[in-house]
Amino acid sequence: MDCVAVINQKGGVGKTTTTVNIGAALAQHGKRVLLIDLDPQGHLTTHLGLDTLAQGRGTYEVLTKDLPLSEAIHAISPNISVLPAQIDLAAAEVELVSVVGREVILRDHLASLSDYDLAVIDCPPSLGVLTLNALAAASHVLIPLQPHFLALQGVGKLFETIRLVAGRINPGLRVAGMVMCMYEAGTRLAGEVIDDLQAYIEGSRGGSTPWRDALIFQTRIRRNVKLAECPSYGKSIFDYAPNCHGAADYLQLADELISVLSSVPRTAPTTPLPTSMPVVDRTSQTSAPRAAAAGKGKQPAAGPSA
């Protein structure tokens, strides 16, 4: 089973929206999809209208009380099932502190499943033990980003964490790519940020990092009010407004992701792993002045940043 962790420790960049809607898009492609809510905010669970189902039988109980996944997963359509979460999951960070092997609990539970083609994990906006569980279980990482300069600030730290997990726990881990969310075409800054990110990724080709084959996905998820509305109806975009831009964008992104999942990873050369991540330094030297000159260097109000 492929397992895609949707990660960015920056808040409000589109992780939950992407998890729900790419999961639903993949289900439309006939994939049997398991959506996993690994965020104590429980936004994925709320988005799909499952709040009451999470009580006593959700991610928290699976991670801390060894509840079998089969007792915590809820089918919401023929091709989509959900492992829900609620605020009690926040306690798992503390409760697991002294547990040996705490980073691989989710991975070990998922190994018992055979009913799904793919799991998609919605991660919290932090790099704690919950996100480490996602990285240990995942085959691929999908990074939603808002194309603003400050949105790149945490990418170096995220890549460093991915590199460590790949080196120590999960050697097969690959960064599938980055997807621009809440994209507004025509802004110069967005184009500059994407160019800088593309140049960095191209510089990693042929290396041994988990992001050596990463894409900047061609699909941009455009800002679309229907995507913001559908959580309040407990629906994915395909059930709420199947003809809107948001639905089209996530269907196209699913096509790109399927291609990545079915591609054979290039073998890493035997050169040593780099010891530092240049992303943050590089962008702060090159993009910052340009972003500032453009007068658009501020991160939009988008939720708490970790």
| Nearer of residues 29 and 226 to Mg ion, judged by Cβ | 226
The DSSP H or E segment spanning 174 is strand 174-180
Three-state SS at 31:
coil
Binding string, residues 28-47; x marks residues near Mg ion by CB under 5 A = ---------------x----
223 scored as a contact of ligand ATP (CB under 6 A): yes
The DSSP H or E segment spanning 44 is helix 43-47
Token representation of residue 143: 């990074």
Q: How far apart are CA 161 and CA 77, in angstroms?
A: 34
Instruction: State the number of binding residues for Mg ion (CB under 5 A).
Output: 3
Of 139, 142, 206, give the one whose Cα is nearest residue 173.
139
| Nearer of residues 15 and 148 to ligand ATP, judged by Cβ | 15
Region 41-100 residues binding Mg ion, contact defined as CB under 5 A: 43
| Nearer of residues 209 and 236 to ligand ATP, judged by Cβ | 236
Distances in Å between the Cα of 26 and the Cα atoms of 73, 258, 293 are 18, 8, 41
Residue 177 CB, shortest distance to ligand ATP, in Å, is 16
Of 119, 114, 169, 120, give the one whose Cα is nearest residue 16.
120
Among 8, 9, 16, 131, binds Mg ion (CB under 5 A): 16
Q: How far apart are CA 122 and CA 288, in angstroms?
A: 30
Of 150, 70, 156, give the one whose Cα is nearest residue 113.
70
| Nearer of residues 184 and 202 to ligand ATP, judged by Cβ | 184
| Nearer of residues 97 and 301 to ligand ATP, judged by Cβ | 301
Binding string, residues 241-280; x marks residues near ligand ATP by CB under 6 A = -----x----------------------------------
17 scored as a contact of ligand ATP (CB under 6 A): yes
Among 182, 190, 260, 291, binds ligand ATP (CB under 6 A): 182
**174-180 and 74-77 as β-strands: parallel, antiparallel, unpaired?**
unpaired
| Nearer of residues 46 and 204 to ligand ATP, judged by Cβ | 46
Three-state SS at 79:
coil
**140-145 and 2-6 as β-strands: parallel, antiparallel, unpaired?**
parallel
Could you tell which of Mg ion, ligand ATP, none binds residue 101, using a CB distance below 5 to 8 A set by kind? Answer: none
Q: How far apart are CA 130 and CA 111, in angstroms?
A: 17
Residue 171 CB, shortest distance to ligand ATP, in Å, is 28
Residue 23 CB, shortest distance to Mg ion, in Å, is 13
Residue whose structure tokens are 């507004």 = 184
Residue 10 CB, shortest distance to ligand ATP, in Å, is 7
Among 13, 143, 214, 251, binds ligand ATP (CB under 6 A): 13
The DSSP H or E segment spanning 16 is helix 15-28
Residue 70 CB, shortest distance to ligand ATP, in Å, is 27
15 scored as a contact of Mg ion (CB under 5 A): yes
181 scored as a contact of ligand ATP (CB under 6 A): yes
Of 124, 176, 184, 122, give the one whose Cα is nearest residue 148.
184
Could you tell which of ligand ATP, Mg ion, none binds residue 131, using a CB distance below 5 to 8 A set by kind? Answer: none
For residue 175, the cross-strand partners are 141
Contacts with ligand ATP, residue ranges (CB under 6 A): 11-17, 39, 41, 43, 125, 181-182, 221, 223-224, 227-228, 231, 246, 303
